[in-house]
């Protein structure tokens, strides 16, 4: 069984349904919700101690990749692992996300156990881009 | 019998771990009886040492005989562990499925705003079913035609370009008539699946999916639960929200009228 020990997770996602899904799936974690990249950066400024960021790609105002670019160029935030969870599932989309600095790329619809596995590996520091 | 010389243990006498070592030297005390007693004691001690050594050898042999049995038990335990781990993975998977169904139902009924319900239906179809192209057909208020309330992607079908669905797709038509879920595509229909939307056993519309994301591949048995859930809950959530918003609108109108009457 995957036991998620991670305490603080920033979820940058525009779907309320998926926010609710994370809330149920990652119940032991403290989730910080943002509904687009811009709000994600604001939440991150308030909570620079987040353990993981779960990021969607297609969002209004600021896309996931733009958000990721901003995070990775900020020395104070660059080390926070980012997991992309998106409906964009083509090979070039995955490659683009990983090149931008994400540690993992999960395609929607996803299985809960796959997300927990990725987070579990992150806790063991075994996930690499 | 006279024993008047020293009796010593041979140099190559084996040492057994844990055995007490007897003293083999018999002092010549000059008293033959005492010497005899000492010699007897020595023989007794030697016999005890031999017995102990034999026991130890037997134990070692027994332990080596147990090894295959232990290995067998270890293999059995390992098999059981693997079986449990497989079952646990299955349970975890089922938990994930139930969570998905719970969240979909929760979110469908979490709002009384018709636009929010429509957006939730779209989110479920895109994010949980992996549909790239779909449409939601719903009987309009005068119940004469099926309004295309929601459309995502460029559906390659004649009906998709009109505001209303007037019939023509055999799969959709059949589902609307008998209220059964149907899978395609067929020669005469590009539809992958049509889900009749029902309120109190009356079919009031249909969710029509015509294309999935490439990485999704195909709809599987697990998606069936979600499709059934949409069939049962999507329409009732939409109708409830529509009725509520209509009632709220009427209430506001009445309140406005009452205010006017009071002012007048």
HEC readout, chain B: CCCCCCCCCCCCCCCCCCCCCCCCCCCCCCCHHHHHHHHHHHHHHHHHHHHHHHHHHHHHHHHHHHHHHHHHHHHHHHHHHHHHHHHHHHHHHHHHHHHHHHHHHHHHCCCCCHHHHHHHHHHHHHHHCCEEEEEEEEECCCCCCEEEEEEECCCCCHHHHCCEECCCCHHHHHHHHHCCCEECCECCECCCEEEEEEECCEEEEEEEEEEECCCCCCCCHHHHHHHHHHHHHHHHHHHHHHHHHHHHHHHHHHHHHHHHHHHC
Q: Is any Cβ of chain B less than 8 angstroms from the Cβ of A18?
A: yes
Q: Which is the CATH superfamily of the domain at A8-123?
A: Response regulator (3.40.50.2300)
- Which residues of chain B lie closer than 8 angstroms to A113, CB-CB? 89, 92-93, 96
Q: Tell me how far apart the alpha carbons of residues B181 and B175 are, in angstroms, rounded to a whole number.
A: 6
Q: Tell me how far apart the alpha carbons of residues A32 and A30 are, in angstroms, rounded to a whole number.
A: 7
Looking at the DSSP bridge assignments, the partners of residue B207 are B136, B195
Q: Tell me how far apart the alpha carbons of residues A80 and A67 are, in angstroms, rounded to a whole number.
A: 13
Q: Computed over its alpha carbons, how large is the radius of gyration of chain A?
A: 13
Whether B224 is in a domain gets the answer yes
Q: How confident is the model at residue A6 (pLDDT cuts 50, 70, 90)?
A: low
Residue B261 has pLDDT above 60, yes or no: yes
Whether B76 is in a domain gets the answer no
Q: Is any Cβ of chain A less than 8 angstroms from the Cβ of B98?
A: no
Total domains present in chain B: 1
Give the closest-approach CA distance of B130 to chain A in angstroms: 6
Cα nearest neighbour of A20 on chain B = B103
- Which residues of chain B lie closer than 8 angstroms to A90, CB-CB? 214-215
Residue-level pLDDT at B30: 66
Domain ranges of chain A: 8-123
A43-52, B119-128, B152-161: which has the minimum mean pLDDT? B152-161
- B242 touches B199 (CB < 8 A): no
Which of B228, B158, B238, B250 lies closest to B204 in space, CA to CA?
Answer: B238
Whether B94 is in a domain gets the answer no
Tell me the percentage of chain B whose pLDDT exceeds 70: 88
Q: How confident is the model at residue B26 (pLDDT cuts 50, 70, 90)?
A: low
Residue-level pLDDT at B66: 75
Give pLDDT tens digits for B161-200.
Answer: 888 898 899 999 999 999 999 998 988 899 999 999 999 8
Instruction: Identify which of B88, B89, B106 has the shortest CB distance to residue A20.
Output: B106
Interface of B with A in 104-143 (CB under 8 A): 104, 106-107, 120, 123-124, 126-130
Residue-level pLDDT at B2: 41
Contact: B130, A112; criterion CB under 8 Å: no
DSSP 3-state assignment of A106?
strand
Q: Structural domain of residue B130, as residue ranges?
A: 109-260
Give pLDDT tens digits for B125-155.
Answer: 999 999 999 999 998 767 678 999 999 999 9
Interface of B with A in 33-92 (CB under 8 A): 88-89, 92
Q: Is any Cβ of chain B less than 8 angstroms from the Cβ of A111?
A: yes
pTM given for the model: 0.77
Report the CATH number at residue B148.
Answer: 3.30.450.40
Looking at the DSSP bridge assignments, the partners of residue A9 are A31, A52
Whether B96 is in a domain gets the answer no
Residue-level pLDDT at B19: 44
Give pLDDT tens digits for B93-117.
Answer: 999 999 999 999 999 999 999 999 9
Contact: B96, A113; criterion CB under 8 Å: yes
Q: Tell me how far apart the alpha carbons of residues A84 and A122 are, in angstroms, rounded to a whole number.
A: 14
């Amino acid at each position: 069984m995957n036991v998620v020990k991670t305490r603080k997770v920033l979820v940058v996602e525009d779907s309320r349904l998926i926010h609710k899904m994370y809330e149920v799936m990652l119940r032991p974690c403290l989730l910080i919700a943002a509904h687009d990249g811009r709000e994600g950066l604001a939440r991150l400024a308030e909570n620079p101690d987040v353990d993981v960021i779960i990021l969607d790609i297609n969002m209004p105002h600021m896309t996931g990749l733009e958000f990721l670019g901003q995070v990775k160029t900020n020395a104070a935030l660059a080390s926070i692992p980012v997991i992309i969870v998106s409906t964009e599932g083509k090979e070039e989309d995955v490659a683009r996300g990983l090149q931008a600095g994400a540690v993992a790329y999960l395609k929607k619809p996803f299985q809960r156990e796959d997300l927990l596995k990725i987070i579990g590996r992150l806790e063991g520091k075994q996930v690499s881009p | 019998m006279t024993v008047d010389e020293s009796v010593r243990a041979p140099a190559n006498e084996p040492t057994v771990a844990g055995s007490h070592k007897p003293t083999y030297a018999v002092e010549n005390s000059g008293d033959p009886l005492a010497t005899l007693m000492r010699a007897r004691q020595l023989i007794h001690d030697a016999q005890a040492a031999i017995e102990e050594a034999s026991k130890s050898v037997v134990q070692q042999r027994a332990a080596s005989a147990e090894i295959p049995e232990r290995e067998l038990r270890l293999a059995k335990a390992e098999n059981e562990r693997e079986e449990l781990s497989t079952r646990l993975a299955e349970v975890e998977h089922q938990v994930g499925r139930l969570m998905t169904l719970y969240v979909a139902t929760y979110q469908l009924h979490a709002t009384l705003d018709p636009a929010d319900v429509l957006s939730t239906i779209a989110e479920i179809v895109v994010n949980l079913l992996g549909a790239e192209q779909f449409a939601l057909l719903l009987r309009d208020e005068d119940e004469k035609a099926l309004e295309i309330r929601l459309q995502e992607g460029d559906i390659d079908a004649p009906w998709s370009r009109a505001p209303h669905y007037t019939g023509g797709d055999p799969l959709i038509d059949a589902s609307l008539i008998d209220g059964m879920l149907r899978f395609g595509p067929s020669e005469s229909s590009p539809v992958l699946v049509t889900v009749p939307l029902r309120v109190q056993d009356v079919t009031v519309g249909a969710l029509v999916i015509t294309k999935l994301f490439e990485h999704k591949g195909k709809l599987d048995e697990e998606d069936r639960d979600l499709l059934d859930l949409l069939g049962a809950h999507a329409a009732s959530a939409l109708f409830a929200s529509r009725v509520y918003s209509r009632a709220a609108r009427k209430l506001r109108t009445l309140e406005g009228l009452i205010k006017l009457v009071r002012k007048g």
